[in-house]
Amino acid sequence: MNHAYSLLLIVLAAAAGLFFWQQHRLRMLRARVETSAVELQRLQQSCALLAPAGVVERLFSDGAESIAEHKVFTAMFTDLVGYTALAERLDPKTLAGVLNGYFQLVSDSVTEHRGRVGTFLGDGILIFFGALEPNPWQCDDAVQAALAIRAALDRYNAELEVAGLPRIAIGVGIHRGPGLAGLIGSRDRREYTVVGPTLNLAARVQALTREHGRDILLTESVREQLDPRFELMPMPAVPVKGTGEPVVTYAVVGGREGRARIKEEKAGLRIEG
């Protein structure tokens, strides 16, 4: 009899042990699922900074291959003028500090005007407007951003001078046209970006800033869409590699507020002081 009771107790103890062990495993599993859900949410939120929310959802549901579409967007290419000379004059640590300051001011100005920094290419920066979200005001935004970069660079140069460092100058090229937007890259590394001849022409227009002695140049396709209140100056047409005909560009002289102010002053509407 005692033997039977002992056996029953052992079976009951084993069943209870099994039950609690299963409960423990279930709790652990639930905790892991919850942690994964939180991580997934964080990952989705992080990805949303790099690509539109719809693209992130499609990436999670359909995979990277499904994400590619043609878009009309505005590309801006900025580059440091005289980087080689600057690199020769400064020690690496100081040079890195100067460069980081320049990258930051461009980034801030672009974000403020609804652009997205696409890629850092050495001392150059590729920027998109209207590539991620539809933006009917993309040309105005791009030129406003370029003017904001110009103003921020003036302030930055004043700081560099105080620190006994050389001033820096940049060239900005802006062009609007079609491109392929999508997750592009190798099997191991991809990024949401735009590719196509629009980018090449923006880069070549940027190179023309040296030839014309102007810091911001834009093409005819940008001018057509641009607010006429921006002050532009036409530049002579110049042959550019990769295009059949010479490219007409316009230098950006001033913003739309400037022209409005001049107009008001001419009309005697503005009272200073």
Partner 1 sequence: MANPLLDVSWDQCLLEPAPDRQAEAALRRDTGTAPGWIRYFLSCPWLPRAAIRLGMGNQMLVHLDFPTADLIALVVSQEHSCRYCYAVTRMQLRILGMSEERMQQLEQRLASGELDPKAAAAVRFARRMARSTPLVTPQDLEPLREAEYSDAEIREIAYVVASISFLNHIATIPALPPQSWEQLADRWFIRLFRPLFARMIRGMRKHGQRASFARPPEGPFAGLLLQFEGSPIGPALASALDDLWASPILSRHCKALMFAVIGHGLGCHRFSDEVARVLEAEGQAPADTEKILAHLGGPGVDADESALLAFARDTIWYEPSQIQRRARELRKRLSVAQFVEALGVVALANSVCRLCAALPRQP
List interacting residues with partner 1 (CB under 8 A): 33-34, 36-38, 40-41, 44, 52-54, 132-137, 140, 225, 227-229, 256
At residue 153, the 3 state secondary structure works out as helix
Least CB distance to partner 1 at residue 47 (A): 14
Least CB distance to partner 1 at residue 53 (A): 6
Q: Phi then psi for 50, rounded to 5 degrees? A: -100, -20
Closer residue to partner 1, CB minimum distance, 71 or 212: 71
Q: Please provide the size of the chain in residues.
A: 273
Closer residue to partner 1, CB minimum distance, 114 or 150: 114
Alpha carbons within 13 angstroms on the beta-carbon side of residue 79 total: 21
Closer residue to partner 1, CB minimum distance, 34 or 62: 34
Closer residue to partner 1, CB minimum distance, 133 or 191: 133
Rounded Cα distance between 83 and 151, Å, is: 20
Q: What is the largest CA-CA distance in the chain?
A: 116
Six-digit token pair at 273?
A: 């002081």
Rg (CA), the chain: 29
Least CB distance to partner 1 at residue 250 (A): 16
Read off the amino acid at residue 108: D
To which H or E segment does residue 99 belong? helix 92-112
Rounded Cα distance between 216 and 90, Å, is: 26
Least CB distance to partner 1 at residue 219 (A): 18
Least CB distance to partner 1 at residue 148 (A): 14
Least CB distance to partner 1 at residue 227 (A): 4
Closer residue to partner 1, CB minimum distance, 45 or 94: 45
CB-CB contact of 116 with 110 (8 Å): yes
Closer residue to partner 1, CB minimum distance, 83 or 137: 137
